[in-house]
Amino acid sequence: MSAQLLDGRALAKQLREGLKKDFAALRGYAGLLPTLAVLRVGDDDASAGYARAIQKSCDSVGVEFHAVELPYAVQQEEVEETLADLNSSPSIHGIMILEPIPAHIALAALIDRINPAKDVDGVHPINAGRLAADRQPYFVPATPAGGIRLLEAAGVDFKGREAVVVGRSDIVGKPMALLLLHRHCTVTLAHSRTVDLPAVCRRADILCLAVGRPELVRADWVKPGAVVVDFGTTYTEAGLKGDCDQAGVAEQASLLTPVPGGTGPMTNVMLMENLLRAAERAASS
């Protein structure tokens, strides 16, 4: 068997075309310039790279990117004041805080202070709670939203199927498990303390990997014909690697998201979709 590879680049391109039109229409009828504020503290290379990628996404769909950069030595109170200004500004529709931030800044306290209506990253407890309770409207974190969208576009049937998600972060694994649960999968959420992870993975009709350990999952961990979603993105000397042995798993799975070119390109386009929703709600309120 050789798995069909789910082309995240192609789907992201198609979605971007639609978003470009929707943002232009919103600007036309509401006279509003959709704007995403991206808050960074310090000058970490990874967050700088992520900010550039987000700016490119904003440019590609015709929305404003508003960079807010605070120095490393800034104090908690000042970051909270900056956030309060973004929360109340009518010209800002979405807010993201990029990680990592310096250790002396309490990230959880900042997240709790984001206006939930502008929380396009889906990290505020109200949005996380609404997702857990399956109560609209809420913002779903962009990475798992993109993974689900890829599966839906491929016509994957979720109902009653065994899903295993490896990794339980608030931003990828946990929301992915909830999205699968709401689609009526029987879900197992595995993590670093899971006993006999290979056996747990082998149960999965739908196996989702959000670990950050390159090639952790081998072909013999995968049930023949399973659908495999690989969120892993680790830069190694041999290039960008996912969480599974892509070549081996492709021989075992029926559908597989490639790394690179699978879930990665979907993330920023899903962020833009959340921003569209936030700006539409602002326009109608």
The answer to whether residue 197 forms part of the interface with ligand NAP (CB under 6 A) is yes
Residue 88: CB minimum distance to ligand NAP, A = 29
Which member of 114, 210, 269, 282 binds ligand NAP (CB under 6 A)? 210
Residue found under tokens 């956030």: 83
CA gyration radius, the chain = 19
The answer to whether residue 172 forms part of the interface with ligand NAP (CB under 6 A) is yes
Tell me the C-alpha to C-alpha distance, in Å, between residue 153 and each of 130, 146, 147, 150, 232: 24, 10, 10, 5, 20
Based on CB atoms, which residue is closest to ligand NAP, 50 or 65?
A: 50
Q: What are phi and psi of 7, to 5 degrees?
A: -85, 95
Alpha helix (H) residue ranges in the chain? 8-30, 45-61, 76-88, 107-113, 125-132, 142-153, 173-182, 197-202, 246-250, 263-284
- Structure letter (DSSP) for residue 259: T
- Near ligand NAP in 53-82, by CB under 6 A: none
Residue found under tokens 């900056």: 82
Residue 265: CB minimum distance to ligand NAP, A = 8
The identity of residue 184, as a single letter, is H
Which member of 191, 202, 203, 218 binds ligand NAP (CB under 6 A)? 191
- Near ligand NAP in 213-242, by CB under 6 A: 213, 216, 231-234
Q: What are phi and psi of 192, to 5 degrees?
A: -70, -20
Based on CB atoms, which residue is closest to ligand NAP, 92 or 217?
A: 217
Residue 51: CB minimum distance to ligand NAP, A = 15
Residues near ligand NAP (CB under 6 A), total:
26
Based on CB atoms, which residue is closest to ligand NAP, 26 or 206?
A: 206
81: left (phi over 0), alpha (psi -120 to 50) or beta: alpha
Based on CB atoms, which residue is closest to ligand NAP, 62 or 212?
A: 212
Which member of 84, 134, 192, 225 binds ligand NAP (CB under 6 A)? 192
Residue 261: CB minimum distance to ligand NAP, A = 11
The answer to whether residue 267 forms part of the interface with ligand NAP (CB under 6 A) is yes
The answer to whether residue 173 forms part of the interface with ligand NAP (CB under 6 A) is yes
Alpha helix (H) residue ranges in 92-245? 107-113, 125-132, 142-153, 173-182, 197-202
Are residues 64 and 96 in contact, defined by beta-carbon separation less than 8 angstroms?
no
- Near ligand NAP in 114-153, by CB under 6 A: 143
The identity of residue 157, as a single letter, is D
Q: Which residues contact 190 (CB under 8 A, 6 or more apart)?
A: 164, 165, 166, 167, 168, 197, 200, 201
Residue 173: CB minimum distance to ligand NAP, A = 5
The answer to whether residue 211 forms part of the interface with ligand NAP (CB under 6 A) is yes
Based on CB atoms, which residue is closest to ligand NAP, 92 or 201?
A: 201
Which member of 263, 269, 275, 278 binds ligand NAP (CB under 6 A)? 263
Binding site for ligand NAP (CB under 6 A): 143, 166-169, 171-173, 190-194, 197, 210-213, 216, 231-234, 263-264, 267
